[in-house]
Amino acid sequence: MSVPETITVFVPRDAAALAVGADKVAAAIEREAKARNRDVHIVRNGSRGMLWLEVLVEVRTDHGRVAYGPVRAADVPSLFEAGFLAGGDHPLCHGLTSEIPFLKNQTRLTFSRCGITDPLSLEDYRHYKGLTGLQKAVAMPPADIVKQVTDSGLRGRGGAGFPTGIKWKTVADATADQKYIVCNADEGDSGTFADRMIMEGDPFVLIEGMAIAGIAVGATKGYVYTRSEYPHAIAIMEEAIAIARREGILGPSVLGSAYAFDMEVRMGAGAYVCGEETSLLNSLEGKRGIVRAKPPLPALQGLFGKPTVVNNVMSLASIPVIMDRGAEFYRDYGVGRSHGTIPIQLAGNLKHGGLYETAFGLTLGELVNEIGGGTVSGRPVKAVQVGGPLGAYFPPALFDTVFDYEAFTAAGGLIGHAGIVVFDDSVDMLKQARFAMEFCAVESCGKCTPCRIGSTRGVETVDKIARGIEPEKNKVLLEDLCNTMKFGSLCALGGFTPYPVMSAMTHFPQDFAPAPVREAAE
Amino acid sequence: MNVRVVAVDEATRIAAIIEDCRHLEGPMLPILHKVQAEFGYIPEGAKQIIAEALNLSRAEVHGVVTFYHDFKDHPAGRHTLKLCRAEACQSMGGDALAERAKAKLGLGWHETAADGSVTLEPVFCLGLCAQAPAAMFDGELYARLDEDCLNDIVAEVRA
């Protein structure tokens, strides 16, 4: 009797898969395999990012990995009947995973391993070119690392788009007994999940990026500040850090070099404003997450008053590939002054929602209608919010806007953390404008008046417009209030809340018409 | 059981948590998270103990506790249902679903059922925005939440 062949089956452990029953699917596969006397090895990988297909189960075959999805536990017996362990056909089969157009057409640099590997297998990480960037970094003068990052054209992926290399140089040039690397993983924007996905799907790439940053600027300690709403990301990051420490990637001698670097994960406590870098630093220090005035820049006086690099997860996770493949390689992707790739998150009312990493330069319309496949409800798209709760709403008339930093600024918006939330024609834009103000009022740290008071007055003014109380006068007042918030607020919370409010009012004036007209139109 | 014994027990448990976190830089949030995990909320008495240990005023600790949505001043129900109210979930009918959840549970936001069975909380984004609407029930995530799923949750709460 021949020894039965072990077949590798992948069932993601990403929160997006767990939330639709991945653990139950994995258990069902195990149970069924046992009952049928088949030798199956289940790998809990990260997510491929095709979230409409979760739970996306893959089977390793001689031709490559074959995808099945969305799989529910109840589908598992029929998958076995169809011979899925050999890549057999089934109504849920999508053929080779790598050939699915949504995935095939991407340029995955930052997410190159996500969904392919076991996120906690250092062996997998090394096999897929992990740690080569860090190996190069430890053998280089730190100033050359900073130069390479500067030359790559990488700009902060958190929203502001500030050149990462320049930030690093400021910290590197500062003299201090202690410097810090702080990773802003406080991904609170609705419509965004790239940080969560990389932390759950490829945590070592973030660790590697932070270690490189530490070596480049002379920091020996790093913190990942993330959200209490992300328990799975926290657990995987902590496990990965422990492994990295054990394997000499973190600790007193990074990869056997003279550099020391260690890091830990810190959990926020449900305050949206802590995604703002100075508020985040106060929170890390154990204070109220109140925004600090700048200057002093965090690069010079950051965490505990020490020079600190504060970078978003995506920025730091892009560092290893830049170090590995070179600044030129990364810089060659993109358009204008937006270099490299950006992991775009397609969310909301979309047929094909998920993570799409691509070079800058696609249009908003291509992203929504072609890649995202239009609305899942089948109704026409009415508005698209780009960049989270502080991002502008775009009507389909602006779908030719090119996805890069400058084009979005010119169109009165921002790309923020590159989340796109699609709404169909059932959305009431006045309600969305009210929500933006209400959210700002709930989440305001309270330090500056335009944000603290302005947001509450904003809710009241939108309510007056909705009730038809002097609507024309109140629309002028709302616009004036938005200007005050935009130019008078200390940080992006109060400063950018006007984007969704003003864009809703400008592009969808019919929703702000006086109440009798609104009712008549319905 | 008299009140003093409870207070002494509480103080001992809080002191142990502080001792556990003392070596950390910026230990306040880790301490508060552990206290909340231990008691289900931040007992009023904890503030003074933490203040003394960290060389702060009680007012400063109170300020931190009240700043963050996660820290509660009273225990939650046996179950906690958090429904996402952010934009991506709104785009998929999250508001209507939330209204139905409120009606089924007979609760408003931040309210706990009279029998202590369940607390209803809003949450702003669980990072499941491509599979909206989303919820978290007793720490477990639920995406593509629909009426059936909601009914199952309500049934579990009532069980």
Asked, for residue B85, whether it belongs to a domain, the answer is: yes
Question: Hunting for tokens 């209803």 — which residue is that?
Answer: B120
Given an 8 Å threshold on Cβ–Cβ distance, is B127 in contact with A196? yes
Given an 8 Å threshold on Cβ–Cβ distance, is A288 in contact with B30? no
The answer to whether B139 faces chain A, any CB pair under 8 Å, is: yes
Given an 8 Å threshold on Cβ–Cβ distance, is B91 in contact with A54? no
Work out the end-to-end distance of chain B between its first and last CA atoms, rounded to an integer number of angstroms.
30
Asked, for residue B103, whether it belongs to a domain, the answer is: yes
Given an 8 Å threshold on Cβ–Cβ distance, is B68 in contact with A269? yes
**Among candidate residues B38, B67, B96, the one where a domain is terminated:** B67
Q: How far apart are the C-alpha atoms of A186 and A232, rounded to whole Å?
A: 14
The answer to whether B92 faces chain A, any CB pair under 8 Å, is: yes
Residues B59, B86: one domain? Answer: no
Question: Buried b vs exposed e over A77-95: b needs ≥16 C-beta within 10 Å?
Answer: eebbebebbebbebebbbe
What pLDDT shows up at residue B15? 96
**Among candidate residues B67, B93, B117, the one where a domain is terminated:** B67
Residues B150, B102: one domain? Answer: yes
Angle at A506 between CA A504 and CA A511, to 5 degrees: 55
Phi, then psi, of A469 in degrees rounded to 5: -85, 110
pLDDT in tens, A6-64: 999 999 999 999 999 999 999 999 999 999 999 999 999 999 999 999 999 999 999 99
Number of alpha helices (DSSP H) and beta strands (DSSP E) in chain B: 7, 4
Sheet containing strand A393-394, strands side by side: A354-359, A341-348, A419-424, A381-386, A393-394
Distance from CA of A234 to the nearest CA of B (A): 13
What pLDDT shows up at residue B110? 95
Given an 8 Å threshold on Cβ–Cβ distance, is A423 in contact with B91? yes
Are residues B86 and B125 in contact, defined by beta-carbon separation less than 8 angstroms? yes
Residues B63, B120: one domain? Answer: no
The answer to whether A144 faces chain B, any CB pair under 8 Å, is: no
* Partners of residue A271 in chain B, C-beta under 8 Å: 67-69
Question: What ipTM does the predicted assembly reach?
Answer: 0.95
What pLDDT shows up at residue B1? 46
B 2-41 near A (Cβ less than 8 A): 25-30, 32-33
Distance from CA of A423 to the nearest CA of B (A): 5
Question: Nearest by CB to A421, which of B29, B33, B129?
Answer: B129
Residues B84, B153: one domain? Answer: yes
What pLDDT shows up at residue B159? 84
Q: How far apart are the C-alpha atoms of A291 and A449, rounded to whole Å?
A: 12
CA nearest to B94 within chain A: A348
The answer to whether A487 faces chain B, any CB pair under 8 Å, is: no
Given an 8 Å threshold on Cβ–Cβ distance, is A229 in contact with B125? yes
pLDDT in tens, A353-408: 999 999 999 999 999 999 999 999 999 999 999 999 999 999 999 999 999 988 99
Q: Which of B55, B70, B85, B129 to mutate to test the interface with A (most CBs of A within 10 A)?
A: B129
Question: Hunting for tokens 């589908």 — which residue is that?
Answer: A75
Name the residue among A115, A120, A22, A188 with its Cα closest to residue A354.
A115
* Partners of residue B125 in chain A, C-beta under 8 Å: 187-190, 192, 229
* Partners of residue B30 in chain A, C-beta under 8 Å: 266-267
Distance from CA of B26 to the nearest CA of A (A): 4
Domain with CATH 3.40.50.11540 in chain A: 122-331
Domain A334-424 has CATH 3.10.20.600: yes
Given an 8 Å threshold on Cβ–Cβ distance, is B136 in contact with A348? no
Name the residue among A345, A59, A12, A25 with its Cα closest to residue A201.
A12
Are residues A488 and A448 in contact, defined by beta-carbon separation less than 8 angstroms? yes
Find the DSSP H helices in A360-448: 364-365, 405-410, 429-443
Element (H, E) at A37: none
CATH number at residue B88: 3.40.30.10
Element (H, E) at A119: none
What pLDDT shows up at residue A55? 97
What pLDDT shows up at residue A516? 58
Domain A7-104 has CATH 3.40.30.10: yes
What pLDDT shows up at residue B98? 96
Domain with CATH 1.20.1440.230 in chain A: 429-521
Phi, then psi, of B26 in degrees rounded to 5: 60, 60
* Partners of residue B86 in chain A, C-beta under 8 Å: 190-191, 389
Residues B59, B126: one domain? Answer: no
pLDDT in tens, chain A (522 residues): 455 689 999 999 999 999 999 999 999 999 999 999 999 999 999 999 999 999 999 999 999 999 999 999 999 999 999 999 999 999 999 999 999 999 999 999 999 999 999 999 999 999 999 999 999 999 999 999 999 999 999 998 877 789 999 999 999 999 999 999 999 999 999 999 999 999 999 999 999 999 999 999 999 999 999 999 999 999 999 999 999 999 999 999 999 999 999 999 999 999 999 999 999 999 999 999 999 999 999 999 999 999 999 999 999 999 999 999 999 999 999 888 888 999 999 999 999 999 999 999 999 999 999 999 999 999 999 999 999 999 999 999 999 999 998 899 999 888 999 999 999 999 999 999 999 999 999 999 999 999 999 999 999 999 999 999 999 999 999 999 999 999 999 999 999 999 999 999 999 999 998 665 555 444
Q: What is the DSSP string of A288-313?
A: --PPPPSSSPTTTS-GGGS-EEEEEH
The answer to whether B80 faces chain A, any CB pair under 8 Å, is: no
Are residues A422 and A375 in contact, defined by beta-carbon separation less than 8 angstroms? yes
Question: Hunting for tokens 């890649």 — which residue is that?
Answer: A371
Number of alpha helices (DSSP H) and beta strands (DSSP E) in chain A: 22, 16
Question: Buried b vs exposed e over A102-132: b needs ≥16 C-beta within 10 Å?
Answer: bbeebebbbbbbbbbbbbbebebbeeeebbe
Considering its fold, how many domains does chain B have in total? 2
Residue A307: is the preceding peptide bond cis (ω within 30°)? no
Domain with CATH 3.10.20.600 in chain A: 334-424
Q: Which class in CATH covers the domain with range A429-521?
A: mainly alpha
Asked, for residue B73, whether it belongs to a domain, the answer is: no
The answer to whether B134 faces chain A, any CB pair under 8 Å, is: yes
What pLDDT shows up at residue A514? 67
Residues B98, B43: one domain? Answer: no
B 93-122 near A (Cβ less than 8 A): none
Please name the fold of domain A122-331. Answer: Rossmann fold (3.40.50)
Residue B151: domain span: 79-158
* Partners of residue B70 in chain A, C-beta under 8 Å: 228, 269-270
The answer to whether B144 faces chain A, any CB pair under 8 Å, is: yes
Given an 8 Å threshold on Cβ–Cβ distance, is A289 in contact with B141? no
- Chain centre to alpha carbon of residue A120: 20
Instruction: Please tell me the pTM assigned to this model.
Output: 0.95
Residues B134, B83: one domain? Answer: yes
* Partners of residue B134 in chain A, C-beta under 8 Å: 19
The answer to whether B51 faces chain A, any CB pair under 8 Å, is: no
CA nearest to A350 within chain B: B130
Given an 8 Å threshold on Cβ–Cβ distance, is B129 in contact with A272? no
Residues B109, B45: one domain? Answer: no
Residues B88, B149: one domain? Answer: yes
Domain with CATH 3.40.30.10 in chain A: 7-104
Asked, for residue B74, whether it belongs to a domain, the answer is: no
Residues B55, B83: one domain? Answer: no
Instruction: Specify the 3-state DSSP secondary structure of A386.
Output: strand
Q: Is A215 exposed, middle or buried (0-12, 13-18, 19+ CB in 10 A)?
A: buried
Residues B8, B54: one domain? Answer: yes
Are residues A215 and A137 in contact, defined by beta-carbon separation less than 8 angstroms? yes
Question: Which residue stretches of chain B have pLDDT < 70?
Answer: 1-6
Distance from CA of B131 to the nearest CA of A (A): 7
What pLDDT shows up at residue A1? 47
